[in-house]
């Protein structure tokens, strides 16, 4: 470490704890409390990366989240590396390894630097103009463009870190722990409001915490001393929660905000193990106080991007907070008083100040007078016209400004310097305010956009420098006053503070500082990350782009990872100046969340891997797993799909399962179907209104199939409902539709039919359903429930019985979705697995075969039974499905009835459900395949598509269901199903392929 660049008089860095780290492979040392940026500067390293477009050498420019240049790759494992980390924000830890980005073979010698020589040929819009022709070449260009695009390298392996979420509610959220934020948090918490104070740094206090200047005092103490005491005090207030290392990422409507807390990013890899890396806070605050401060603006002049050129405020923080001198011979360049504070800090630390170049004629403020006492040379009314030094600034050239500031006059003066601090004024951080929906107003005195109090969403205020108060006296007085009003507080401990400051009296702003060369020969950078210059903006304007949003996209100004925090105001200023527009009328670009980049990990939290999505499991799930079932996702349920045996493919397993169910007995876990318990004196009337068919005459103990329509007459859901008692039914719904059906029915009861005495309760999870189907199903059931009379007379198809299995009550329905003689046992879920096992035991001698959803689909397709959502798609009426029989034409009303008689729904040429048989019985159609009549027609008319398709082992041929225009009239006609390599000949048939007479139901 270069010890001469360290000073030992500050308390923010623990100089007793030395940390080793590597930068571009070189082992270096820093101290606990350093950022990577401060440690690099202490090692006399300014050059940290290359710019995006021209590959120009770039150095550390700021000390915060606005950093455009010092973005590095962290970690030496390419599979787990972290790109685009700002060196100014990452805290140093033992073993940190960082690499420069966007350079090859290294940052000092970068082949891409050739772009800088070619820069006259690469103006704004170069890509848009060059790669437009010939159009067919785009894919070739794209290959190279994609290789050179982007900053940093993405890791190739899944992120191994753990991330977390936290929901938080508070009365008042204070964003920003600078002086105004500290005051607001104290006022709020002391007045019994649950208060949350967030700051993105690890130390509270903003810039004031290291402001130890005689010109700025509070109650006769230096401002840092006064603030330290306040911070110590607020840490003891009970209802104040302080989160440091937590940056506000997004401010949504109604005071819902997201913040990212860095928990272990500052720890060494060993200390991080098994700990949460970052936590995303989801904050709902009754009131929000924004105290996000402001950031210093750069100045725009020729070659203003060399390593060693930094914001003056950053130089001050590095010396006062981190104890690091950023150079040995520093010059300062300004249009305001801020650099004079930096000058005093540097002087106190014994740094040689070559000169101060000030574009103003003079300033008579207290701080300037203080600097003048130190005999520092100040060049008033001068500007820098050029800088020199490839990898580090070495010289500046200055000239006197003309009276109107548009040009330079006199003799050029060349000054040797190894670091240049620049200050172009201050920009309030209004990003969060605008994200929340607030509108800005423009203050022309100092060219700043500020929150418009009249257009501020309710329950929030902005205070401090983000509200345009830059003087410490104004900050304290206005923050105190505004917070008191906002929170309804009468008196505060800040009411009678005595504040001394140095009021800035003289301002001058020139957005693009002149050079002695024509603009075409200069490089005045606006956006340091994306390499857009002032002349790019002017070119865009000449080419007709007027809106700031268009100029932004054409020149890429403000589109880097820093989101143009440093560049946007200058771009606006230059556009306004060039076009003769008022900046306030021009407006700003849109500030979108996140304010600073968020990791995907923080966004996702723990919802990765096994927690990516819910899985719902039936009571028999473990049995299915033990019996090697393959599962399919149905809604959030895991449903047994098929049970392969001895290496069977799905096709083979399904063929075996289907045959077994038709020839002997199959067993299915049907627990996932929605079940709604319906009670009340108007239950029958309710069902009449919900379903298309009639329900009043359904006898107790009987079951009936129903179709439920939407208001538009389209099939919405279907299922069997059973009458358990006079005023008691149990409805089943589709698996995926269960929740929506219940919500819809409850909605109808509460809003449309409040007169009905009906109560709905979901019992989907309470009951598990075991379906036994096949010619031997009766034999199985008689073994499991010996006391139940299963004769067709006592227990006919479409009826139900209450019964008991080993002292546990159950409901048995004789209903069928396969066309076979079937029973469904509904039993409390906690006993269901045992009943399933009893059934399997009872069926041993009958080759009882568990089957999954795929076989269920095949069996029902053989019978032409629809599956809502597969054979319907929200555009099918019952009539389209050839199910006119289910519409109760004499019924007064039901949901969707009126829509069934619209001209569109009675059209003959609607798509209607049909059966399809392939001429080759072994040819299986693909679901979704289109059906056409003429192969050579262009464009070919698509008459419909296949909705369900299987090879039926029971019919020994392929079968399919499809929807086709005028399908009802097409029986017997031949069509084609064109596929990629062949055309399949098909014939339209009836939708029922198997047991048309329904003889097997009672077999």
Partner 1 sequence: MLNFETTVQDSKSYGDLTLSEMEPILKINLRSNKREFSTKIGKLLSIIPPIEANTSSSNEDYSILWLSPDEWLIYSSNKISYEKQNLLEENLFKNISNINQGSVTNVTDHWVMINLKGSKIYDLLSKSSPYDFKNFKMKKGSVAQTLLNHTDVILHNLDDNNLNLFVRRSFSEDLWLWINDSARFL
CB of 279 to partner 1, least distance (A): 9
How far is Cα 631 from Cα 639, in angstroms, rounded to an integer?
5
Kindly state whether residue 611 participates in binding partner 1, applying the rule CB under 8 A: yes
Quick count: other Cβ atoms within 10 Å of Cβ 78?
Answer: 12
- Is 610 a binder of partner 1 (CB under 8 A)? yes
Beta-carbon count within 10 A of 671 CB: 27
| Alpha-helical regions (H) of 17-157 | 36-42, 114-117, 126-130, 138-148
* Per-residue contact string for residues 64-103; x = within reach of partner 1 by CB under 8 A: ----------------------------------------
Q: Is 831 in the site for partner 1 (CB under 8 A)?
A: yes
Tokens of 646: 């001895």
Q: Where are the beta strands (DSSP E) in 672-712?
A: 674-679, 703-709
Give the pair of three-digit tokens for residue 202.
């690890």
> Whole-number minimum distance, CB 677 to partner 1, in Å?
5
Restricted to residues 938-997, the positions that interact with partner 1 (CB under 8 A) are none
Stretch of 89-97, 206-214, 341-349, 758-766 contacting partner 1, by CB under 8 A: 758-766
Buried b (16+ CB within 10 A) or exposed e, 624-650: beeeebebeebeebbbbbbbbeeeeee
Cα pseudo-dihedral 396, 400, 401, 402, rounded to 10: -150
Residue range at the interface with partner 1 (CB under 8 A); choices 166-174, 310-318, 813-821, 850-858: 166-174
Among 834, 966, 985, 987, binds partner 1 (CB under 8 A): 834
569-570-575 Cα angle (round to 5): 100
Which residue from 933, 938, 934, 916 is spatially nearest to 925, judged by alpha carbons? 916
The answer to the question of residue 14 lying near partner 1 (CB under 8 A) is: no
4 lines the binding site for partner 1 (CB under 8 A) = no
C-beta of 331 vs 771, nearer to partner 1: 771
Where would I find the beta strands (DSSP E) of 750-863?
A: 759-762, 767-773, 799-805, 808-814, 822-828, 849-850
Cβ-based neighbour number of residue 168 at 10 Å: 16
Q: Can residue 695 be called a binding residue for partner 1 (CB under 8 A)?
A: no
> CA angle, 576 as apex, 424 and 310 as ends, to 5°?
20
Span from 29-37, 316-324, 678-686, 847-855 in contact with partner 1 (CB under 8 A): 678-686
What b/e sequence results for 88-108 when a residue is b if at least 16 CB atoms lie within 10 Å of its CB, and e otherwise?
bbbbbbbebbbbbbbbeeebe
**What is the bridge-based pairing of β-strands 14-23 and 96-100?**
parallel
CB neighbour class for 441 (10 Å; exposed up to 12, middle 13-18, buried from 19):
middle
Q: Kindly state the smallest distance separating residue 273's Cβ from partner 1, in Å.
A: 13
273 scored as a contact of partner 1 (CB under 8 A): no
Q: Nearest distance from residue 825's CB to partner 1, in Å?
A: 12
Following DSSP, what letter does each residue of 721-781 receive, concatenated?
EEEEETTEEEEEE-TTTHHHHHHHHHHIIIII-TTS--EEEE-TTTEEEEEEESTTHHHHH
Stretch that binds partner 1, among 414-422, 600-608, 649-657, 839-847 (CB under 8 A): 600-608
Cα–Cα distance for residue pair 403/406, rounded to 1 Å? 8
Those residues with Cβ within 8 angstroms of residue 366's Cβ, 6 or more apart along the chain or in another chain? 215, 502, 503
Instruction: Tell me how far CA of residue 269 lies from CA of 74, 97, 274, 389, in angstroms.
Output: 12, 11, 10, 38
Q: Which of residues 407, 680, 888, 921 is near partner 1 by CB under 8 A?
A: 680
- 809 scored as a contact of partner 1 (CB under 8 A): yes
- Which residue in 766, 801, 811, 891 binds partner 1 (CB under 8 A)? 766
Shortest separation between residue 762's beta carbon and partner 1, angstroms = 7
Among 415, 603, 634, 808, binds partner 1 (CB under 8 A): 808
Q: Does 830 bind partner 1 (CB under 8 A)?
A: yes
From 771, 829, 879, 954, residue interacting with partner 1 (rule: CB under 8 A)? 829
Residue 484: in which H helix or E strand, if any?
helix 472-487
Of residues 314-353, which lie at the interface with partner 1 (CB under 8 A)? Answer: none
Which CB sits closer to partner 1, 456 or 834? 834
Distance between CA atoms of 602 and 622, rounded to whole angstroms?
34
Which residues on adjacent β-strands are paired with residue 489? Answer: none
User: Among residues 967, 970, 974, 866, which one has the least CA distance to residue 910?
Assistant: 967
**677: contact with partner 1 by CB under 8 A:** yes
Radius of gyration of the chain (CA): 38
Out of 142, 271, 765, 789, which residue is the one contacting partner 1 (CB under 8 A)?
765
Work out whether 413 is an interface residue with partner 1 (CB under 8 A): no
What is the closest distance, in whole angstroms, from the C-beta atom of residue 842 to partner 1 in the complex?
14
Among 217, 222, 284, 968, binds partner 1 (CB under 8 A): 284
In the complex with partner 1, the residue whose CB is nearer, 51 or 195, is 195
Q: Which among 295-303, 432-440, 478-486, 609-617 is the span making contact with partner 1, rule CB under 8 A?
A: 609-617
Given 833, 911, 965, 1000, the residue binding partner 1 (CB under 8 A): 833
Site string for partner 1, 708-737 (x = CB under 8 A): -------------------xx---------
CB–CB of 542/124 below 8 Å? no
* 235 scored as a contact of partner 1 (CB under 8 A): no
Please identify, using beta-carbon distances, which residue of 400 and 617 lies nearer to partner 1. 617
Q: How far is the CB of 421 from partner 1 (least distance, A)?
A: 44
Q: How far is the CB of 837 from partner 1 (least distance, A)?
A: 8
Instruction: Retrieve residue 136's tokens.
Output: 């067919």
Only segment of 164-172, 329-337, 388-396, 543-551 that touches partner 1 (CB under 8 A): 164-172
The reply on whether position 271 binds partner 1 by CB under 8 A is no
CB of 624 to partner 1, least distance (A): 14
When binding is defined by CB under 8 A, the residue of 530, 764, 777, 912 that contacts partner 1 is 764
Span interacting with partner 1, options 368-376, 397-405, 828-836, 840-848, rule CB under 8 A? 828-836
What is the distance between the alpha carbons of residues 906 and 710, in angstroms, rounded to a whole number?
16
**615 lies in the site for partner 1, by CB under 8 A:** yes
Would you count residue 166 as binding partner 1 (CB under 8 A)?
Answer: yes
811 makes contact with partner 1 (CB under 8 A): no
Residue 761 touches partner 1, criterion: CB under 8 A? yes
Shortest reach from residue 621's CB to partner 1, in Å: 8
Tokens of 376: 């520092």
Contact 866, 991 (CB under 8 A): no
Of 391, 400, 553, 606, the residue at the interface with partner 1 (CB under 8 A) is 606
Question: At a CB cut-off of 8 Å and minimum separation 6, what does 980 contact?
Answer: none
Q: Is 172 exposed, middle or buried (0-12, 13-18, 19+ CB in 10 A)?
A: buried
Residue 865 and residue 822 in contact, taking contact as beta carbons nearer than 8 Å = no
195 forms bridges with which residues in the sheet?
A: 172, 240
Binds partner 1 by CB under 8 A, chosen from 2, 547, 633, 681: 681
Nearer to partner 1, 598 or 683 (CB): 683
276 counts as binding partner 1 under rule CB under 8 A: yes
Stretch near partner 1 under the rule CB under 8 A, chosen from 360-368, 514-522, 807-815, 865-873: 807-815
Q: How far is the CB of 635 from partner 1 (least distance, A)?
A: 10
Q: Taking CB under 8 A as the rule, does residue 241 contact partner 1?
A: no
Q: How far is it, in rounded angstroms, from Cα 41 to Cα 34? A: 10
> With binding defined as CB under 8 A, does residue 254 bind partner 1?
no
Note the residues at the interface with partner 1 (CB under 8 A). Answer: 162, 164-169, 194, 275-276, 282, 284, 605-607, 610-611, 614-619, 637, 677, 679-681, 727-728, 757, 759-767, 805-809, 828-831, 833-835
């Amino acid at each position: 470490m270069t010890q001469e660049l360290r000073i030992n008089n500050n308390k923010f860095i623990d100089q007793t704890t030395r940390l080793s780290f590597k930068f571009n492979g070189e082992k270096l040392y820093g101290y606990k409390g350093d950022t990577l940026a401060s440690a690099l500067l202490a090692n006399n390293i300014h050059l940290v990366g290359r710019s995006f477009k021209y590959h120009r050498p770039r150095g550390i420019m700021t000390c915060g989240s606005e950093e455009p240049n010092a973005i590095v790759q962290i970690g030496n494992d390419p599979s787990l590396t972290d790109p685009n980390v700002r060196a100014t924000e990452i805290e140093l830890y033992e073993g940190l390894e960082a690499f420069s980005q966007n350079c090859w073979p290294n940052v000092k010698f970068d082949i891409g630097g050739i772009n800088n020589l070619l820069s006259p040929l690469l103006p704004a819009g170069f890509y848009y103009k060059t790669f437009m022709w010939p159009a067919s070449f785009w894919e070739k260009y794209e290959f190279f463009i994609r290789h050179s695009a982007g900053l940093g390298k993405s890791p190739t392996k899944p992120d191994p870190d753990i991330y977390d979420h936290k929901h938080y509610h508070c009365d008042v959220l204070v964003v920003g722990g600078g002086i105004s934020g500290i005051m607001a948090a104290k006022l709020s918490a002391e007045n019994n409001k649950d208060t949350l104070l967030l700051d993105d740094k690890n130390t509270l206090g903003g810039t004031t915490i290291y402001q130890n200047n005689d010109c700025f005092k509070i109650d006769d103490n230096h401002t840092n001393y006064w603030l330290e005491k306040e911070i110590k005090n607020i840490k003891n207030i009970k209802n104040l929660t302080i989160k440091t290392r937590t940056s506000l990422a997004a401010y949504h409507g109604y005071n819902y905000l997201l913040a990212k807390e860095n928990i272990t990013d500052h720890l060494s890899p060993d200390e991080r193990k098994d700990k949460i890396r970052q936590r995303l806070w989801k904050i709902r605050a009754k009131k929000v106080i924004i105290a996000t401060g402001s950031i210093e603006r750069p100045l725009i002049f020729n070659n203003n991007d060399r390593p060693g050129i930094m914001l003056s405020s950053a130089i001050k923080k590095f010396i006062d907070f981190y104890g690091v001198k950023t150079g040995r011979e520093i010059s300062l360049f300004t249009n305001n008083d801020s650099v004079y504070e930096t000058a005093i800090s540097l002087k106190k630390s014994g740094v040689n100040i070559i000169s101060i170049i000030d574009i103003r004629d003079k300033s008579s403020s207290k701080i300037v007078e203080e600097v003048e006492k130190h005999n520092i040379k100040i060049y008033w009314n001068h500007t820098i016209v050029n800088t020199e030094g490839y990898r580090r600034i070495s010289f500046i050239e200055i000239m006197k400004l003309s009276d109107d500031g548009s040009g330079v006059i006199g003799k050029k003066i060349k000054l040797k310097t190894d670091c240049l601090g620049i200050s172009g004024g201050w920009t309030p951080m209004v990003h969060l305010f605008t994200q929340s929906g607030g509108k800005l107003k423009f203050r022309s005195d100092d060219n700043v956009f500020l929150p418009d109090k009249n257009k501020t969403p309710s329950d929030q205020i902005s205070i401090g420098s983000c509200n345009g108060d830059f003087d410490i006296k104004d900050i304290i007085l206005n923050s105190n006053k505004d917070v008191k009003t906002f929170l309804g507080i009468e008196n505060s401990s800040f009411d009678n503070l005595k504040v001394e400051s140095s009021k800035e009296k003289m301002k001058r702003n020139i957005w693009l500082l002149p050079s002695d060369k024509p603009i075409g020969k200069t490089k005045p950078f606006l956006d340091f990350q994306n390499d857009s210059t002032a002349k790019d903006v002017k070119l865009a304007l000449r080419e007709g782009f007027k809106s700031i949003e268009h100029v932004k996209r054409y020149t890429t100004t403000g589109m880097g990872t820093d989101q143009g925090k440093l560049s946007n105001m200058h771009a606006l200023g230059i556009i306004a100046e060039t076009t003769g527009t008022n900046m306030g009328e021009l407006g700003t670009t849109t500030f979108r969340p996140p304010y600073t980049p968020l990791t995907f990990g923080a966004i996702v939290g723990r919802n990765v891997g096994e927690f990516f999505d819910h899985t719902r499991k039936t009571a028999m799930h473990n049995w299915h797993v033990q019996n090697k079932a393959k599962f399919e996702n149905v809604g959030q349920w895991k449903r047994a799909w098929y049970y392969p045996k001895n290496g069977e493919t799905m096709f083979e397993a399904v063929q075996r399962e289907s045959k077994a169910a038709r020839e002997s007995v199959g067993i299915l876990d049907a627990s996932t179907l929605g079940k709604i318990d319906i009670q009340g004196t108007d239950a029958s009337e309710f069902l009449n209104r919900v379903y298309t068919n009639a329900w009043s005459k359904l006898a107790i103990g009987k079951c009936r199939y129903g179709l439920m329509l939407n208001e538009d007459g389209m099939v919405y859901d279907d299922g069997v409902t059973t009458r358990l008692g006079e005023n008691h039914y149990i409805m089943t719904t589709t698996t995926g539709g269960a929740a929506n059906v219940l919500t819809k029915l409850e909605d109808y009861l509460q809003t449309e039919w409040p007169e009905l005495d009906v109560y709905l309760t979901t019992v989907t999870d309470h009951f598990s359903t075991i379906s036994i189907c096949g010619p031997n199903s009766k034999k199985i059931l008689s073994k499991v429930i010996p006391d139940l009379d299963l004769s067709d007379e006592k227990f006919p198809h479409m009826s139900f019985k209450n019964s008991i299995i080993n002292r546990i009550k159950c409901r048995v329905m004789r209903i069928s979705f396969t066309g076979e003689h079937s029973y469904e046992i509904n039993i409390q879920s906690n006993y269901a697995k045992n009943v399933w096992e009893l059934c399997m035991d009872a069926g041993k001698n009958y080759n009882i075969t568990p089957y999954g959803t795929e076989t269920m689909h095949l069996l029902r397709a053989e019978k032409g039974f629809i599956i809502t959502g597969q054979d319907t798609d929200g555009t099918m009426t019952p009539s389209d499905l050839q199910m006119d029989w289910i519409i109760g034409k004499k019924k007064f009303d039901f949901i969707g009835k009126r829509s069934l008689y619209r001209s569109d729904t009675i059209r003959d040429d609607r798509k209607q459900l049909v059966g399809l048989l392939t001429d080759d019985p072994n040819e299986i159609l693909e679901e979704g395949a289109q059906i056409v009549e003429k192969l050579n027609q262009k464009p070919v008319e698509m008459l419909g598509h296949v909705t369900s398709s299987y090879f039926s082992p029971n019919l020994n041929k392929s079968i399919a269901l499809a929807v086709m225009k005028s399908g009802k009239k097409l029986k017997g006609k031949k069509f084609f199903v064109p596929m990629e390599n062949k055309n399949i000949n098909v014939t339209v048939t009836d939708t029922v392929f198997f047991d048309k007479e329904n003889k097997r139901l009672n077999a």
